Amino acid sequence: MAIEIRCILVPLDFSDQAPVVLDWAAHLAREHGSRVVLMHAYHLPVEFQQLEGAYLPPDFWTNVKVEAEQSLSRFAEDLERRGVEVEKVVREGYPATVIVEEAASQPADLIVIGTHGLSGLKHLLLGSVAERVVQKAPCPVLTVKTAD
């Protein structure tokens, strides 16, 4: 059976593990001649939304989106130097949901996502975007864990 990987979706949260996730994606993209879709999803945590009197400047979301696009561009340049075709996507919404939706709409053949490897109470309280993506994704998911 030949596995075709034409499109790899790589969600990034701009954490310290992003370079390792990109290394995996770049390697797989070169091996399979795949295009990579770098994406960042941003949202306002529910806890903040519930604060009475919380103030957001009028251009808050515009600035968040522009900064995310600039960061993705830096990562995209690195991949392009390695000979990988790259597309960038920035979307507002709960990350796990947006990642799964984007994987379906591309359509992605693989998602390469980092995992912070939280355990115990932190995992229970914070949950895991990667775990939710694995559960709901329309395609295989490669989770990349880095040393903490």
Per-residue pLDDT tens over the stretch 37-84: 999 998 865 555 555 556 666 777 678 788 999 999 999 999 999 999
Whole-number pLDDT of residue 59 = 77
Q: What is the pLDDT of residue 125?
A: 45
- For the chain, the average pLDDT equals 86
Q: What is the DSSP letter of 45?
A: -
What CA–CA distance (Å, rounded) separates 49 from 55? 10
Q: Which pTM does this prediction carry?
A: 0.86
The closest of 37, 33, 26 to 139, measured between CA atoms, is 37
Which parts of the chain fold into alpha helices (H)? 18-32, 46-49, 60-81, 95-105, 120-126, 129-136
Percentages helix, strand, coil for the chain, rounded to the nearest 5? 45, 20, 35
CATH class given for the domain over 7-145: alpha beta
Using a 10 angstrom Cβ sphere, with 0-12 exposed, 13-18 middle and 19 or more buried, the burial of residue 134 is middle
- Give the chain's radius of gyration (CA, Å): 16
Please name the residue that has the structure tokens 């995310």.
Answer: 68
Query: Which pLDDT does position 41 carry in this prediction?
Result: 93
- Is residue 16 over pLDDT 80? yes
Collapsed DSSP state (helix, strand, coil) of residue 41 = strand
Q: Can you give the residue ranges of every domain in the chain?
A: 7-145
